[in-house]
Every structure is written in C-alpha cells, then in structure tokens.
Chain A
Amino acid sequence: MSIEGEFIRGAGPIAVLKLLDRGEMYGYEIIEALERRTDGVLAMGQSTLYPMLYNLEAKSLITARWDESGARPRKYYRLTSGGRKRLAEDSRTWRKLAAAMEALGVTRIGALLPHSNWKGAIA
C-alpha cells in the first residue's frame, strides 16, 4: 500500500470520530461529509465506511440507533464517552506527528495536505 494509502487508512477512523463529535450522523451522511470536507482525499470506497463503523462500534467508541420517524429510515451513529476520549488522544498524536514533520522541515503541514479543507477535518 502506498504511503498515502497508509495515511488515509490510519486517518479514516479519527476522521469519522471527529465528524461524529459534532453530532450524530447516518452512514451516507458521513460518506458525503468526508468527501465534501476533505475534497475527496478521504473519500474512501463507500463499502469501506460501514466495516469501519462496525469496528468503532465493536470498540464501544460509537453507538448506533435506528430512526424510522422520517420518510427514510436511517441508522444514526454517535460518539460515546469512550469515543470522545479516544478522539482526544488520537488528535494529540496527530498534532505531534504534524509538528514533528514540520520541525524536520519535511514539509509544512499545509503542504502535506493537498487541500486546506482537510486541515479542518482533523483539527
């Protein structure tokens, strides 16, 4: 797998957790948000999202509920307290990594990220 692929793979769960930090979302909504807000960089194959959600659910970082009150039944995912804690830890790690890369002069974090929108996704 390319380094970019590795980055994306490692970034996927924290990106999802970060999106859910702002409120509960259903699967397709998460996919669209990832694509839109990362300008397509984290637009993972749609079928990849659901296994990732199940893994986060298995680790009790998120929970799910069905909402059938609307026109279309939706399964909403939201962060648990454990998920919130993990998000905080992973965010710190990512910040340290970005700072280290910048300190080494490898690149500025802004240069590492192809699109400025992605910065918002992990901040």
Chain B
Amino acid sequence: MTDGFPADLRAFIERTVRLTRLRKREQRDLELELFSHFREALASGRTPDAAMAAFGDPKLAAASLRAGAIAKRTMLDRVIGKAALVTSVAALLAFVAYASFAAYLLSQEPVRRTDTVAVFQSTLPKSSSPEECAWPIYRSALLQLEFAFNAPSSEAREALNAMPWPGDEQWPKVAEWLQNHDEGIRMLHTARAIPKLGFPVGAPRDALNAQLLGEPSADFSSATEDYSKVLPMLALELPHLAQMRAAARILCCDAIRAVDHDDGARFVTDMQTVLAISKHAQEGRLLICDLVGFGIRSMARTYTTAALEWKPELLNTSQLAELQTAFESVPDELQKFVATSERLMWEDILQALFTDSGNGDGVFLMNKDSERVLINMLAMMEPKQGVSAERGTAQVLAALPRALSAPMAAWSFADRKSTNAFVDRLFVAAENASQLPLPDYLKVRTMDRAFESEVQDAPLRWTLPRLLMPSLSRAMAGYAVDRAQCDSVAVTCAALRFLRDTGRWPATADELVPSYLPSIPIDPWTGSAILLVSDAKGNRVWSVGCDGRDNRGDPLASDGFEWAIGGASAPLPTTFPVRNPYYEQASYQPTNDIDWVWYAPLGSVERWRTTQAPRTQVRSTQ
C-alpha cells in the first residue's frame, strides 16, 4: 500500500507516529490516516519537503495527535489508562526503593563492635597467681589419675563411668582403682579450699591443658570455617566441665568406698570436694555451667544421703556439722539464673545477623554469611539428632517463605533494637523464674503463654528469637530443685545431730531451730515445715512431692527425687514460645505422685541403685 512512497516522507510519518507513544492499534490507525494525508498532498502537486513543512514539527504534531487520539478513548479506557500509569510510576518508585535498599544491604557487613569474649572473660574472677586457682590442681590430679587426653581406656575407667555401688559386679575393680590412685584423689581434695577455678575459657590452650583436654575441637570449626570469629561466644569450648564431672564421679565413688570402710572423715572430705567442684563449675555463669554444677551437686546429695541411710552412725557430730556446712555454703547467687553471659551469646547473634546503625539499632542482614550462620546454628542445636546442614537449609527456607531476598527479610523481621528488647524480656523472665519456689512454676507456664501469644501474633516478626533462643524456662526449675537438694542434706545432718545430742529423732522441724538450723526447713512444694517422723519404719525426713499429698515418706516408692534434672514430672510448661524447631516437645508429665524422701535409713544403698532395677527388695550390703 505504501510502495513507491518517498522514503523521507515515510520516515517522517513513522517518526511522528512513534512520538505519539499511543497504543499499537491507535498508532496503526494514525499511520494510515497520515499516509492518506500525504498521498493526497503529493497528488495535489506538493513536494515531499513542502508537504512535511506544511504539516508542521513532528514533535508538536505528535503531542497534539496523541491528545486527540486519547480524547477518542472511552471514559473507562481513560480511567484505566491513568490508573495503569499511576501504578507503573508507583511500581517503578517501589522498585527503585527496593533496589536501593537491596544495594544498601549488599554493601553492609556485620560489625563486631563488642568483643563479647573479652567482656565474658572480664567477668571471670581475677587471680594474681596460679596458686589462687583450683584448675591447675584439678588438672594435675586428673593427669595423675591417668585422665590424660591420650591415655588408653581401661576396664576400671569404664567401671568408674558406670559409678557402681558396693555389691555391684563392677565395684571390686573400682575399689581397687581408687585404692591405687589415692595420691591423685588426695590432690583433688586440696582444691576444695580454693574459691576460684581459673580455667582460661576462650584463651589459647597451653601444653599442660592440651595434655589433659587435647587440642581444640576440630569438629566445631570444620563444618563452619569462621564460626569462632562470627559467633565466638557460642564457639567457646568448655572442655573442663567434662573433666570436672569426671573428678566428681571419682570422688563420689571414693566417698562410698570410705563409707564401706567406715571412714567418716574421708567421706566428708570427698563430699566437700565434690561440692567445691560444683561451685567451681559454675564459674562464668553460662547456663551450661550452672546445669553441670547442679548435676554435680545432685551427685553429692545422692551419695551423702545414701551414705547416711546406709550407715547412720558413720559420722560423728562434728563431721555431720562439717557436712551440713558444706551443703549450706552454696552461695545464693549460684542458685539463681544470671543471664549476663547468655546475653553475650545473643549479642554475638545480633552482631552477626543485623546491620549496625551505631545506636544499637539495625535491620536483619540476609546474605550468604548470615544464612550460613543461621543454618549452622540450627544444625548445631541438636547435632545428636542428626540435623544436617541440608535439613537446616530446608528449615530456614520453610520458615522464611517471604525472606527470599534481603529487603523483604529486613522489612519482615523485627529490627535489631526490638529483637533485642524481646529477647531481653525473655532473659529477665527466666531470671525471675529461677528464683520462684517449685509450686510457682505454674506461673512460668502462664508467663510462657504470654510470650507464645506475642510470637503467634507476629510469627514472621519474631522469626529469629523463635528459631534461635534456647528454651530457657524449662531449665529454670533446676535452680529450685538444686536449692531443695542442698536443703535436704542440711536438714538430714541437722536431724542426725539432734538425735546424737538428745537421743531422739525430732518430731517436728521447728525443734531444729535455732540450735541446728538457722530457720525452719521448708517443704519446697508446700511452703510449710518439712516433715519428720520416727515410727516403726524408722527415722525419716520427706517432702510431700509435686502432688502435694503426704504418703508418709515411703522410701521404697521414692524415686530419689531426680525431679526436673532427670526430665520427669509436672507442672513445668509443656510448650515454649521461642522453641527452636528441633527442640522436641517437652515430656513433663506427672510421673510421680509420691513423696520426695529426703532421709530414710534402710541399712543399705538399695534405693540409690540404678532406677532401671525394680525397687522391691531391700538388700543389705553389710
């Protein structure tokens, strides 16, 4: 149709039409009309140049032609067109803003403003000389006891780990080993008078420590190459805790051997040392340190009660007083949760995962490094359950469906300040919970539900605390149990001293005050005075237990009240708001509605043997 049309005129028309920026169909119509127009102009004798000149400037023409063409559109069409234009501009602006923010995030690097390990180390007790620290003594003693890192295992060592009682099949081997290693055990005893531990947490491992502990673990750094730099608090190794547990196990076995040999003084020294170890283990006040300390004190209580039930006459009055003092000497501050060190761990997480505006605020920084930190943390939380990095990735992606890019993640998650405030409230709640008496753990559950509700209201906002915060509240009952365990031995010693002095078992707890105890011992479950009785079944001390019902302290029904430490019993919270996805549902079901029997001499250690054996038969080992 346009064959033979002058090229310059055709170009003029096409340019004019293109400049109108009309829709394709409208441009086609206009083009036809202009071709028609110029064809008529040429037919009338005008030259192409004259026709173009008469038509006018293409830009001005295009503008007015566009206005005219748009006027022909329907009202609805024009409204939609305008809306599309506005939307396009808005989308463009949004894209520019998004891209700018993405570029900003891309340019950001995590800032390690706080050297958390240095802060942590500054909280450790200072000592001016190695003589003021117990760790060198433990180390020397354990090396002497053949616990060097590369020392071959032996049957006796294996037997020691099982902690057999006199009468058990493995006991003779253990007893012989203890006899042969008396010097090392006596060396352990010397550490009990030293208040500080002085293990150099986070410091390079010297030759002596490496001899006992081996070189720093390769497992941790192999999976996550720079982990110790990114999350140094979490990467801190605490290998001394396992060694101190080992020392405590040796001393407990030595203590029961002392009972077997009627050596009350040795027994008391062993227990004093175990208690000192439990306090030393808590140095640094990381939660894991506290839990190890509780575990060691629980051993001390078990072995002391077992010894006093087996041979009530073993200890003289002054030895009983020494033992009571040792259990009463656990400082109050070690029996409540202090979140200072745990907060430093969280500070590491904030520094690794958020930008730093310099005033404590920032936004979540989703990049390769932070993703790796998240994956590795999740994979590390439950390594025993075989959580692989791949599974970690899947979990992260499943948990962060909207966080496929950094800006979305930064906008979706709470900012640094809010996240920190949220987590801090959890820490404060945990600190308060650790000081509650046992029955008040129902309040912990209520408190947990409040947090849970907050998380459910904005699950994406609180993704990071939900994924990364440990389940603190469930560990808090351990503090109350620890207090009860120390009380149980103190009351038992006080009651035995009363018996020695008066020739009779105290009928009520208030008889022990003030000569034997500073205040009336309280049943941790009822808040009332602890129960004591002397009847046909013998002398007993007991708490009514978590069901609040008095079963008169039947020792054969008691489980040795390893409550909560061993993971049993109600009424702990069954859910936790910031539980990470790998944490199995709590199984705190009321499994024992029986009394906690604190003391019930049976002339044997039968009720303290492994809980796997049915407690139907009382067997004397004498």
Contacts and interface: CB of A to CB of B under 8 A. Distances in A.
Interface of A: 26-29, 32, 45-48, 50-55, 57-58, 66, 72-75
Nearest to B16: A47
B60 interface: yes
Contacts of B566: none
Nearest to A64: B33
Label chain B's interface by main secondary structure: helix
5 contacts: A28-B44, A47-B16, A48-B56, A48-B64, A72-B36
A45 B16 CA distance: 15
B86 interface: no
A23 to B, nearest CB: 17
Contacts, number: 68
Contacts of A27: 33, 36-37, 40
A47 B44 contact: no
B36 A73 contact: yes
B55 A51 contact: no
Interface residues of B, number: 25
A54 B71 CA distance: 7
Given A47-B61, A50-B65, A72 B54 contact: no
Contacts of A48: 56, 64
A48 B64 CA distance: 7
Nearest to A73: B36
Contacts of A52: 68
Given A55-B71, A75-B32, A28 B41 contact: yes
A51 to B, nearest CB: 3
A50 B56 CA distance: 12
Contact of A58 (B64, B65, B71): B71
A5 to B, nearest CB: 15
Interface of B: 1, 16, 30, 32-33, 36-37, 39-41, 43-44, 54-56, 60-61, 64-65, 67-69, 71-73
Contacts of B32: 66, 73, 75
B40 to A, nearest CB: 4
A72 B55 CA distance: 19
Given A32-B44, A58-B72, A73-B32, A45 B55 contact: yes
A26 B68 contact: no
Contacts of A57: 72
Contacts of A66: 32
A74 B33 CA distance: 8
B56 A45 contact: yes
Contacts of B1: 73
A52 B67 CA distance: 10
A107 B330 CA distance: 118
